[in-house]
Chain A
Amino acid sequence: MTSGGSRYRDGARDALPVVLGYIAIGLAFGVVAQTAGITTAEVLLMSLILYAGSAQFVTVGLIVAGAPATAIVATIFLVNVRHLLYSTALSPHVRGLKAWQNALIGAELTDETFAVASGCLSTGRRASAPWLLGINNASHATWIACTTLGALLGSSVSNTRALGLDFALAAMFAALLVLQIVNRPRMRAAVGAAAAGAATGLLGILVMPAGWAVIAATLVAATLGVILEGGS
Chain B
Amino acid sequence: MIREHVVWIIVGTAVVTVIPRVVPLVLLSRMRLPALFERWLSYVPVAVLAALLAQAVAMPDGRLDLTITNPALLALVPVLVIAMLTRSLIGTVTAGIMLMALLRWMQL
Contact = CB atoms under 8 A, between A and B. Distances in A.
B2 A39 contact: yes
A163 B97 contact: yes
Contacts, number: 317
A49 B2 contact: no
Interface in A97-123: 97, 99, 102-103, 105-109, 111, 114-115, 118-119, 122
Task: Give the size category of B's interface with A.
Answer: 35 or more
Contacts of A193: 43, 46-47, 50
A69 B8 contact: yes
A204 B51 CA distance: 10
A89 B9 contact: no
Nearest to B5: A69
A76 B17 contact: yes
Contact of A161 (B21, B39, B104): B104
Contacts of B105: 162
Interface of A: 1-2, 16-17, 20, 38-39, 41-42, 45-46, 49-52, 55, 59, 63, 69, 72-74, 76-77, 80-92, 94-95, 97, 99, 102-103, 105-109, 111, 114-115, 118-119, 122, 161-182, 184, 189-190, 193-202, 204-206, 210, 213-214, 217-218, 220-223, 225-226, 229
A175 B1 contact: no
By Cβ-Cβ distance, the 5 closest A-B pairs, closest first, are: A171-B96, A201-B51, A197-B50, A164-B100, A164-B101
A172 B92 CA distance: 7
A106 B25 contact: yes
Contacts of A180: 45-46, 49
A122 B89 contact: no
Given A42-B2, A42-B3, A63-B6, A170 B57 contact: yes
A176 to B, nearest CB: 5
Given A171-B92, A175-B89, A73 B48 contact: no
Given A170-B56, A179-B83, A59 B10 contact: yes
Interface of B: 1-3, 5-18, 20-30, 33, 36, 38-60, 64, 71-72, 75-76, 79-80, 83-84, 87-90, 92-93, 95-105
B20 A115 contact: no
Contacts of B5: 69
14 contacts: A45-B7, A69-B9, A80-B20, A91-B25, A99-B26, A103-B22, A103-B25, A162-B105, A163-B97, A167-B71, A168-B93, A170-B60, A180-B49, A200-B51
Given A164-B98, A194-B50, A221-B51, A84 B43 contact: no
B38 A92 contact: yes
A88 B43 CA distance: 12
A104 B42 CA distance: 23
